[in-house]
Amino acid sequence: MADQTDQPRSGTVAQGNAYSAARAAAAALRPRLAESPRVAIVLGTGLGGLAEDIASARRIAYAEIPGFPQSTVQGHAGQLVLGRFAGVPVAALQGRFHLYEGYTPGQVVLPVRVLGLLGARILIVTNAAGGLRSSFQAGDLMLIRDHIGIPNLAGMNPLVGPNDEQMGTRFPAMTHAYDAQLREHAHVAAGEQRIVLHEGIYVMVSGPTFETPAELRYLRGMGGDAVGMSTVPEVVAAVHMGLRVLAISCITNVALPDAPHAPDEADVVPEPSHAEVIATAQSAGVRLATLIAAILARLARDVA
């Protein structure tokens, strides 16, 4: 059921309904839970395979959850998978929503709010992203240390509108959005598993176009290490609710903004495609699942 009244991009009605829609969806799901999820996991484009490793899995199609949008993008299954991963009660979103699909920021963050209301204390977000550093290779993993949310800075922030004080404070700080202790666990877990894990700044653009060579240079110049079309709204909503966040990008293609600026620059910047993004994410997915399992095993004492 789409929340028809949540259509405007701004204004009092839209945001008020975004919070009540989250409460309604959580109330509908609560009786179906065997146990409360402790960790919510958002599976990015091509990264849904991790959900196959969830033990005692129960799958709930988004279509069965009141107010949930529908995934319109190839590479996103559109179901909630509940169960245990590395022994920890988890709820994994196999499929997420993007601004470029036409969803409002409030709709994009609805699933994360629902999982927060159902008891998750930690959010692990994954995504597919373009690498902005020439030292990155397709298939590499990058832990997100901080973000630049271009749509957020331009008014497409999921917290625009009246604030729900029960959900979180009006002006939440984003200084520590990416929890330092969780990042430390991630680096140690990556070392144990011999997985290369970069760390850097994720820049969000709205998409759906991939960037021009000039835009890539601009994003690199502002400090970005990877660029993608998701994640920032979900992280903002999670931090607003007091969740601790860990986010990992799978670098699916490497844009080369450091190439010398030349009239024929378009010839030296490889052209990305959605098919390439999905294929690379799927092949890196096993490594990502191994890494997340190792991180959860380290966290198990804290969250069990």
C-alpha radius of gyration, the chain, whole number: 18
CA 171 to chain centre: 21
- Position among 277, 291, 292, 299 found at the interface with ligand HPA (CB under 6 A): 277
Could you say which of 130, 151, 200, 233 contacts ligand HPA (CB under 6 A)? 130
What would the x/- binding string for ligand HPA be over residues 243 to 272, using CB under 6 A? ---------xx-x----------------x
Among 67, 101, 210, 248, the residue binding ligand HPA under the rule CB under 6 A is 210
Residues 6+ apart with CB under 8 A from 302: none
Toward ligand HPA, which CB reaches closer, 62 or 210?
A: 210
Q: Which CB, 15 or 231, lies closer to ligand HPA?
A: 231
229 contributes a contact to ligand HPA by CB under 6 A: yes
Which one among 54, 227, 243, 284 touches ligand HPA, defined by CB under 6 A? Answer: 227
Query: How many C-beta atoms surround the C-beta of residue 63 within 10 A?
Result: 11
When asked if residue 94 is in the footprint of ligand HPA (CB under 6 A), the reply is no
Considering the complex, what minimum distance in angstroms separates the CB of residue 145 from ligand HPA?
A: 18
CB of 268 to ligand HPA, least distance (A): 15
| Total site size for ligand HPA, rule CB under 6 A | 13
Residue of 124, 129, 182, 248 interacting with ligand HPA (CB under 6 A):
129
Is there binding between residue 211 and ligand HPA (CB under 6 A)?
Answer: yes
Query: Which lies closer to ligand HPA via its Cβ, residue 17 or residue 71?
Result: 71
What's the min distance (Å) between Cβ of 93 and ligand HPA?
A: 18
3-state secondary structure the chain: CCCHHHCCCCCHHHHHHHHHHHHHHHHHHHHHCCCCCCEEEEECCCCHHHHHHCEEEEEEEHHHCCCCCCCCCCCCCCEEEEEEECCEEEEEEECCCCHHHCCCHHHHHHHHHHHHHCCCCEEEEEEEEEECCCCCCCCCEEEEEEEEEHHHHCCCCCCCCCCCCCCCCCCCCCCCCECHHHHHHHHHHHHHHCCCEEEEEEEECCCCCCCCHHHHHHHHHCCCCEEECCCHHHHHHHHHCCCEEEEEEEEEEECCCCCCCCCCHHHCCCCCCHHHHHHHHHHHHHHHHHHHHHHHHHHHHHHC
Stretch that binds ligand HPA, among 23-31, 140-148, 184-192, 224-232 (CB under 6 A): 224-232
Q: Shortest gap between Cβ of 173 and ligand HPA (angstroms)?
A: 27
Q: Which two tokens stand for residue 3?
A: 């929340």
Nearer to ligand HPA, 85 or 136 (CB): 136
Letters for 53-82 (x = contact with ligand HPA by CB under 6 A, - = none) are ------------------------------
Binding site for ligand HPA (CB under 6 A): 128-130, 210-211, 227-229, 252-253, 255, 272, 277
